[in-house]
Amino acid sequence: MLTAVNTGQLHPDFQRELARLLNRHSLDDACRTPDFILAGMLTEHLEAHRKTMDATVRWHGWPPLGERRTPPAGDRAPGAPVTPVRAEPPAAPA
């Protein structure tokens, strides 16, 4: 599931299945909002979160989500964490 969110490729039936799940647990009644509207809102939230994560990863200079970063041989001690290089924040618009 996370891979699907990271790539922006949710299964076509995801929103429909989510609406059914919300309905089955009566969460639509608890919110007084139809299940398909809640499912749409949650799906949009996942997409917004993916875009936020993409921007954060780019800003830090980390490899894209889903890719592993392999440091050059001898660059770090075995077992030491990989420290990403921090990119400069984007310039403020003029």
Span 22-73, pLDDT tens digits: 999 999 898 899 999 999 999 999 999 989 998 998 888 888 877 666 655 5
pLDDT grade, residue 20 (50/70/90)?
A: very high
CB 35 within 8 A of CB 29: no
pLDDT of residue 42: 94
Full-model pTM: 0.59
Cβ neighbours around 60 below 10 Å, total: 12
Could you read off the pLDDT of 48-61 as tens digits, one per residue? 998 999 899 888 88
The SS3 of residue 3 is helix
Helices (H), 8-84: 14-24, 27-31, 35-60
Q: Which amino acid is at 21?
A: L
